[in-house]
Structure 1
């Protein structure tokens, strides 16, 4: 399987917003919640939790979209591509949609969440599955386990 080469760049569908990551993901995920299904127009959304100091917008300016709630979902204001999310109270990472990167072939979800809402036929290669999000206390262990798979 291909590996992530850093720094890595990517952008929205139209190219008006470009980004760069310079840090490896802390964790990779697939979310099956109905909100992500609706926002991604797909069976689930994919995320790579990138340390905030390893993420930057290098061209354009994304806009907040989605539900405009506590978690801020960022889109290209022109093509409306959902690019990344900044969860409220968790400013130390950014949930990047990994398919925004120019080469997303390295991506594989390590965990999947909200399987209680997944479409019956939807599957992922995730190592861990959760009916809802994991308990906050579980994330340190998941991050450590994921890091071992990337070494």
Structure 2
């Protein structure tokens, strides 16, 4: 099911438990942002990128390798994806 935002960026949630599942951001093609809580053993995964930190609470911290005020510019995606892929090698 689609969440409260009905623009080009779509947030999908479970109609049964109402948990956010994933987001398809506007203008990013085939990119899908899956909520880490959907993974089995989610505690085993360290955040790689946190976005919209300009809106976060001052005491909130994820320890992500990259903290960005908003979404990364499209031209940074190849380098970020390459860096992320190298972590699993």
Q: What is the TM-score of this pair, normalised by structure 2?
A: 0.85
Distance, in Å, in 1 between the alignment partners of 2:24 and 2:51 is 17
Distance, in Å, in 2 between the alignment partners of 1:138 and 1:88 is 16
Distance, in Å, in 1 between the alignment partners of 2:8 and 2:31 is 15
Alignment of 1:66 with 2:4, yes or no, is yes
Higher deviation after alignment, 104-113 or 135-144: 104-113
Alignment of 1:142 with 2:53, yes or no, is no
Structure 1 residues 122 and 99: alpha-carbon distance in aligned structure 2, compared to 1, 3 A threshold: same
Q: Please state whether the residue corresponding to 2:32 is helix, strand or coil.
A: strand
Where structure 2 has 5 or more consecutive residues not aligned to the other structure, the ranges are none
Q: How does 1:75-86 map to 2 (within 5 A)?
A: 75-86=13-24
Please point out which of 42, 52, 71 is paired with 1:133.
Answer: 71
Distance, in Å, in 2 between the alignment partners of 1:89 and 1:114 is 17
Q: Please state whether the residue corresponding to 2:44 is helix, strand or coil.
A: coil
Displacement of 1:112 after TM fit? 1.5
Displacement of 1:126 after TM fit? 0.9
Q: Please state whether the residue corresponding to 1:88 is helix, strand or coil.
A: coil
| Residues 97-129 of structure 1, C-alpha deviations (whole Å, 9 max, x = no match) | 121123213321111211111101011111112
1:103 aligns with: 41
Higher strand share: 1
Give the number of aligned pairs.
89
Distance, in Å, in 2 between the alignment partners of 1:149 and 1:129 is 17
Structure 1 residues 130 and 90: alpha-carbon distance in aligned structure 2, compared to 1, 3 A threshold: closer
Q: What is the TM-score of this pair, normalised by structure 1?
A: 0.54
